[in-house]
Amino acid sequence: MIRRLAILLLFLGLTSCGIYSFTGTSIQADVKTITIPYVEYKALRVNPSLSNLLTEALQDKFRKLTRLEQVEMDGDLELVCEVTGYDVKATAVTANEQAAQNRLTVSVKVQFTNKKYPEDDVDKSFSAYEDFDATQSLDAVEAGLCDTIVEKLVEDIFNATVAQW
């Protein structure tokens, strides 16, 4: 009986302060909404589906792992992102001076604004990459690479904004 009471008190203590959650976020109790507008694409090399993929992944991550209501405008939190880089470069060269491995890198600029707690604002750039065999064309592997890269970017952005890691 005493053990159960101790566990209950511990649980209540962890959840009553309003900023701890078991998903790893540290969002103040009075922060209720978030605005995540469409991710702008400003990279020179074009990938027509990347903005949509990144926007949906960010919205989905915040929907699943926070209690925040997503609103079209004027959220307590605002997460504005733009793709600033989309590049393919050789990373490994053979003895014949041919590329053996290529790397697709995506860079994103993030402006996170917390209207209630401006000290939590974040203005930062993120990048993620995936390597692929140079014998494969980018067109053949691009969709899979982008899925993996977007997953990494979303995790980094989430951690830097509401998880504050």
Q: What is the pLDDT of residues 108-130, one digit of tens each?
A: 999 999 999 999 999 999 999 99
Q: Which CATH number among 3.30.160.150, 3.40.50.1220, 3.40.50.300, 3.30.420.10 corresponds to the domain 29-161?
A: 3.30.160.150
Q: How confident is the model at residue 157 (pLDDT cuts 50, 70, 90)?
A: very high
Residue 163 has pLDDT above 80, yes or no: yes
Instruction: Please name the residue ranges forming H helices in 17-165.
Output: 50-65, 138-161
Rounded to the nearest 10 degrees, the angle between the axes of helix 138-161 and helix 50-65 is 40
Q: pLDDT, tens digit, for every residue of 43-102?
A: 999 999 999 999 999 999 999 999 999 999 999 999 999 999 999 998 877 667 777 899
With vertex at residue 159, the alpha carbon angle to CA 123 and CA 145, rounded to the nearest 5 degrees, is 95
pLDDT at 21: 42
pLDDT at 13: 47
CB proximity list for 40: less than 8 A, separation 6 or greater: 51, 81, 82, 83
- Give the chain's length: 165
Residue 75, helix vs strand vs coil: coil
Q: Which of 146, 148, 154 is nearest to 58 (CA)?
A: 154
